[in-house]
Amino acid sequence: MILQLMDIARPNLFEISNLELYIHYAATITIAALFLYWFYTVYKKLGLDRKSFIDLLKKWNWKNLFVYGIFQRRVVRDYYAGIMHIMISWGIIILTISTALVALDNDILSPFGIRILVGSFYLLFEVFSDTGGLMLITGLTMALYRRLRKKILLHTVWDDYIIILSLYLIAFEGFFLEGLNIFLLNTTQNFGYVDQYRYIGSIFSLFWYNLFQQNLTDAIIVYRILWEVHFLTVFIVLGYAIISKLSHVVLSPLYVTLREDKVRGEMSTPFKLEELLASGSFDIKMGIEKPSDLRPIQRLENLACTDCGRCERACPAFAAGRELSPRVLMQTLKANVGSQEPFVPYLFSEDFIWSCTTCQACVEECPVRIDPQNYLLEMRRDLVFKSRLDKQKVQFLNNLTYTRNPLGNSPSERNEWIEKSKKFDNDEYLLWIGCMASFDPRTKNVAESLIKILKEAKVSFGVLGEEESCCGDSARRLGEESRYQELVMQNVSVFKNYNIKKIITICPHGYNTFKNEYTKFIDGLEVYHHSQIIEKLIKEGKIKLEKEDKTFTYHDPCYLGRINGEYDAPRFIIKNAASLVEMERSRSKSFCCGGGGANYWYKVNEKEPISQIRIKEAEQRSNNLAVACPFCLGMLEDAARTLGKENMNIKDIAEIVASRLQRSSSESGSSSSR
């Protein structure tokens, strides 16, 4: 047996003539040339020249290739779809490697008397190949079932079925061919002890044993015909792959390998207003007007879209019946790469662009890390640059210009917070009240609750009063970069004047822009959301809570959770003050309130408001809803009133904690003396 194992080698093809092999070689070269031409067309679509091509390759990231391209970290989050995709992709990878090894062994090395598919390596190769084919068939079966069952909303076209059925055909042809090969080998040679390693092919060989018995002549004829059919099928599918969505097998891993990793909550900074003012030159162009404006990596991002629809299924704007679909956005960009046609009105309506809440659910879901939101924000910049704004948006920007807040209130009204706390004076923390908590009557209670908590814990903090301006988040996401940077310059000047190093924010939007975007304008800021500070105070024992017999469900704000990764602090707080039950969509899969991306300040056409969808989800878990964002608080309370759900009790986490604070020892003492 040891001698047999040492001598065993992969057998040559049965009765395949040299002429047929030469035709195969010529066809292989033709397909290779076709692929090279396809790569050249992609290269041209990306608008690359030699220098930009080299610059792009310098961004090659092996870690991203393996994590997101080969091992598909994002894909496997969805259990069923993840297993399905892993089976198909790794099945294809294994069969491709197997075919390459056969070509190397049989066509390149064999003429020189060298073989690699011999001994134990050959036996492992047989197991490897059969496993790859089995994985492919399993994955394809799961994919077909998923589309035919239609339990999940999938954008299915004939191209999807053509791809599935053609890959099915390749896999089954391969196994039938292997089964016939086993029949011929076992009939003509003593090769049966290899069958256990060709464990799937051996099953298919039973069909040929029953069909041919000992009729080798007919078996060899069928073998030759089946081999040619299999060869032809493979090359037709390869040719079809580059003009179908199968091209993502190459383009998607290429994109995740070359994409620019950036801070999740950061928008690009196309210019520095301070530098423009110093130079006196304002010759700038804002945003993107047409597909030809896109950079090469953005064009590759368009081409890499797999049209899987995960972004669309996660999108709150799409769920609400707005015009926006991130899948349609990316597929339209993909079909118009390099086009000179303006986005508006030829490719998208203005409502399409204004519908995005910037919640980044689409970014979170995309298996190849595509960012549809980024294109919409850049299109908004173009619309603002051209003054294509309705009255609501104009009023919003005018308020920022004249009063430094979007509500249009007098800045002097912010001074009441100095009376309720104190003016910042070399304190450890600046408490950034924010526009909503400063002027919105309902949100003021959140700020008062937080001040109560900070005083109870004897935290050193102060406020700025009327020296505080809007952080600029909504202006930037509306597309008004200049107005945003004006606000940044004012706030940064104040921060430097007071030597402010640590900031506590009530709003996740302010938290995000201070933490991730002000870094372009000032160094050394430590930024905390109030949930993080309250969590810290509880853990350090500086505040103690009396737990109440209530069960809250919690709504993750997009800018705190999905965009900045803070999921645990609010939950820790709620569990210390009451009980917590999770909504069906929570943490990274949380559903937006509808107020982000400046949507709080204007309206777009929709069938069912996003906030009402979310309230209906919340009431399935509890009538007590905890939030951690002023915009979420306003949007969800308004939705509850509109729906007539008066029993919905919506509280910010600061309000929950303030209501459950144990009295300090000094208060207890004074109470007992009375």
Helix (H, G, I), strand (E, B) or coil at 126: helix
- pLDDT at residue 674, as a whole number: 32
To which H or E segment does residue 403 belong?
A: helix 391-403
Q: Is residue 44 part of a domain?
A: yes
Q: Left (φ > 0), alpha (ψ -120 to 50) or beta: where does 578 sit? A: beta
In angstroms, the CA 217 to CA 223 distance is: 10
- pLDDT at residue 106, as a whole number: 83
Q: Is residue 432 part of a domain?
A: yes
In angstroms, the CA 587 to CA 579 distance is: 17
Strand order in the sheet with 551-554: 579-581, 551-554, 624-627, 649-652
Please tell me whether residues 591 and 639 are part of one structural domain: yes
How many Cβ atoms sit within 10 Å of the Cβ of residue 567?
Answer: 18
Instruction: Tell me the two tokens of residue 633.
Output: 């608080």
Please tell me whether residues 68 and 150 are part of one structural domain: yes
The domain boundary, picked from 360, 388, 416, lies at 388
Q: Is the peptide bond before 345 cis (omega within 30 degrees of 0)?
A: yes
In angstroms, the CA 182 to CA 130 distance is: 13
Please tell me whether residues 375 and 351 are part of one structural domain: yes
Q: Is residue 140 part of a domain?
A: yes
To which H or E segment does residue 194 belong?
A: none
Please tell me whether residues 380 and 408 are part of one structural domain: no
The gap from C-alpha 78 to its chain's centroid, in whole angstroms, comes to 13
Taking 50 as the pLDDT cut, the residues of the chain under it are: 1-3, 6, 665-674
Please tell me whether residues 630 and 508 are part of one structural domain: no
In angstroms, the CA 638 to CA 634 distance is: 6
In angstroms, the CA 189 to CA 316 distance is: 65
The tally of CA atoms less than 13 A away on the side-chain side of residue 214 is: 1
CA distances from 413 to 30, 409, 530 (A): 75, 7, 22
Q: Is residue 261 part of a domain?
A: no
In angstroms, the CA 476 to CA 273 distance is: 13
Please tell me whether residues 164 and 78 are part of one structural domain: yes
Please tell me whether residues 96 and 186 are part of one structural domain: yes
Please tell me whether residues 383 and 419 are part of one structural domain: no
Please tell me whether residues 561 and 535 are part of one structural domain: no
The domain boundary, picked from 539, 571, 590, lies at 539
How many Cβ atoms sit within 10 Å of the Cβ of residue 190?
Answer: 8
- pLDDT at residue 142, as a whole number: 94
Q: Is residue 612 part of a domain?
A: yes
Please tell me whether residues 32 and 173 are part of one structural domain: yes
Please tell me whether residues 488 and 564 are part of one structural domain: no
In angstroms, the CA 475 to CA 150 distance is: 41
Do 46 and 300 touch, CB atoms closer than 8 A?
A: yes
H helices within 73-215, ranges in order? 79-103, 119-149, 158-188, 201-212
Do 17 and 224 touch, CB atoms closer than 8 A?
A: no
CA distances from 356 to 144, 391, 577, 603 (A): 32, 19, 35, 11
Q: Is residue 435 part of a domain?
A: yes
Please tell me whether residues 491 and 411 are part of one structural domain: yes
- pLDDT at residue 23, as a whole number: 83
Q: Residue 343's domain is classified under what CATH number? A: 1.10.1060.10
Structural domain count of the chain? 4
Helix (H, G, I), strand (E, B) or coil at 553: strand
Instruction: Supply φ then ψ for residue 500, to 5 degrees.
Output: -80, 130
Q: Is residue 141 part of a domain?
A: yes
Do 599 and 559 touch, CB atoms closer than 8 A?
A: no
- pLDDT at residue 73, as a whole number: 85
In angstroms, the CA 149 to CA 133 distance is: 24
Q: Which stretches does DSSP call E strand in 530-623?
A: 551-554, 579-581
How many Cβ atoms sit within 10 Å of the Cβ of residue 7?
Answer: 9
> Tokens 């007098």 belong to which residue?
410
In angstroms, the CA 530 to CA 509 distance is: 12
- pLDDT at residue 235, as a whole number: 87
Q: Is residue 623 part of a domain?
A: yes
- pLDDT at residue 192, as a whole number: 64
Domain that holds residue 201: 2-256
Instruction: Tell me the two tokens of residue 363.
Output: 């970014």
Q: Residue 455's domain is classified under what CATH number? A: 3.40.50
The domain boundary, picked from 334, 354, 388, lies at 388
